[in-house]
Amino acid sequence: MTREYRFKAPPEAEGRRLDRFLAGRPPLLSRSQAQDLIERGLVRVNSACKRSSYKVRPGDLIEMQLPPPEAPLPVPEEIPLEIIYEDQDLMAINKPQGMVVHPAAGHRRGTLVNALLNYCAHLSEAGGDLRPGIVHRLDKDTSGIMLVSKTDFAHLELARQLKGREMKKRYLALVHGEVREKEGLIDAPLGRNPRERKKMAVLPGGTRGAREARTRYRVGERYRGYTLLDVFPETGRTHQIRVHLCYAGYPVAGDSVYGYRRNPLRLPGQALHAYQITFRHPRTSQLLTLQAPLPEVFADILVRLRGES
């Protein structure tokens, strides 16, 4: 069933590109999804089709049609969940390494969404039919804490905090190399790799598609040939931590996409774990900090490295 949305552009939207204006609004489209709808003629401004580059004016009436998903809707599956926190508005899940967050081509079953549909009777719909409850994502082979919304109210407020960089995340990353400095900042724009579109890359400033990206890190422990980093991304670009650390000369151990193909530690995926998230509860505004314990395989590797060092 086609869904229709109507927006009236507020004064602060003046001069924004149409695709940027639509990105992040219900149903929480990405910018590329907004561009696709615009190109298909499913977005009208004051009853007329416009380009993605159209500059929005205060008072513009923007109407958008969202066609039904082409892929089949996800179904509930009995998959165990490690729940860190839960109330009437949201849940915090410790996602295991190897689990895809939501159904996509090649991954229709066994995702976090399939597990959530089996566990919870009510999930937010603001993210679309294929991503019920999903506020943000982690890569398949990145483990750690994720927030899941049960109501559209909670979803939109958490998404606002995420977009406004009010939500803070911290990761543990085991990287190749012995990092000398105690802490550092990687400030390098990211965008699609011009040669491999499925990958991200550091791009020169001013390059079309390059977006600001900043990652801070602090040394936790040093081992022989490896370092454990506490990582604080200040922005949330796709694959940001993995690309930035590789760019800095410290690829994440077990990351065969951006790092080394050799895997002497025999890791099942990249040694990257989202261990902490801080946000304000959407209903009470209480500041919450939640943590997810390290996966056993990650913890065992650290014990082994301490012994060898």
CATH number of the domain at 217, please.
Answer: 3.30.2350.10
Q: Can you give the pLDDT at residue 26?
A: 73
Q: Can you give the pLDDT at residue 71?
A: 66
Annotate 185-208 with b (16+ C-beta within 10 A) or e (fewer): ebebbbbbbeeeeeebbbbeeeee
Q: Beta strand 43-45 with 61-66: parallel, antiparallel or unpaired?
A: antiparallel
Q: How far is the C-alpha of 88 from the C-alpha of 270, rounded, in Å?
A: 33
Instruction: Please enumerate in sequence order all residues whose Cβ is within 8 A of that of 192, keeping only pairs 6 or more positions apart, or say none.
Output: 199, 200, 201, 209
CB-CB contact of 89 with 156 (8 Å): no
CB-CB contact of 115 with 101 (8 Å): no
Q: Can you give the pLDDT at residue 105?
A: 65
| 295 part of a folded domain | no
152 among known catalytic residues: no
Q: Which of 2-6, 223-227, 231-235, 289-293 has the lowest mean pLDDT?
A: 2-6
Range of the domain at 51: 3-66
Domain co-membership, 200 together with 240: yes
| Single-letter amino acid code for the residue at 153 | F
* Domain CATH number, residue 9: 3.10.290.10
Q: Can you give the pLDDT at residue 25?
A: 78
CB-CB contact of 109 with 77 (8 Å): yes
| pLDDT tens digit sequence for 193-213 | 988 878 999 998 778 889 999
| pLDDT tens digit sequence for 254-294 | 999 999 988 999 999 999 999 999 999 999 999 999 999 99
| pLDDT tens digit sequence for 34-52 | 888 998 899 999 999 999 9
Q: How far is the C-alpha of 120 from the C-alpha of 142, rounded, in Å?
A: 23
- Look at the alpha carbons of 189, 158, 216, 138 in this order and tell me if their dihedral is positive or negative: negative
Q: Give the chain's domain count.
A: 3
Q: What is the CA radius of gyration of the chain?
A: 21
| 53 part of a folded domain | yes
Tell me which of 136, 163, 190 is where a domain ends. Answer: 163
| 20 part of a folded domain | yes
Average pLDDT score, the chain: 92
Q: Which of 20-29, 161-170, 267-276 has the lowest mean pLDDT?
A: 20-29
The one catalytic residue in 139, 141, 152, 255 is: 139
